[in-house]
Amino acid sequence: MANEPNNIVLRLLREIRATQDVHGADLREMKARVDDLYKISTHTLGVAANAHLRYEALEARLDKLSERVQRLEAKP
């Protein structure tokens, strides 16, 4: 009977350790998913920003070409 309390404590400690291991694995998996989401988000924002810059450049070029056409059409 003297060993019984120790066995209960050891059993509980092993259960706690097993739960911690499971939680640790879950946290590592969630961290990997968050890291993936971060990479996808930053890539998507970069693509959108680049597309916006290209659109503005094309719009400026179109404006210049429109002005040239108007000047050419206005010449007698």
Please give the pLDDT value at position 3. Answer: 62
> How far apart, in whole angstroms, are the C-alpha atoms of residue 44 and residue 46?
5
> How far apart, in whole angstroms, are the C-alpha atoms of residue 33 and residue 39?
10
pLDDT-based confidence at residue 15 (cuts at 50, 70, 90)? very high
How far from the centroid of its chain's Cα atoms is residue 21's Cα?
A: 26
pTM for this structure? 0.58
pLDDT at 2 over 60: no
Which residues have CB under 8 Å from 35's CB, separation 6+?
none
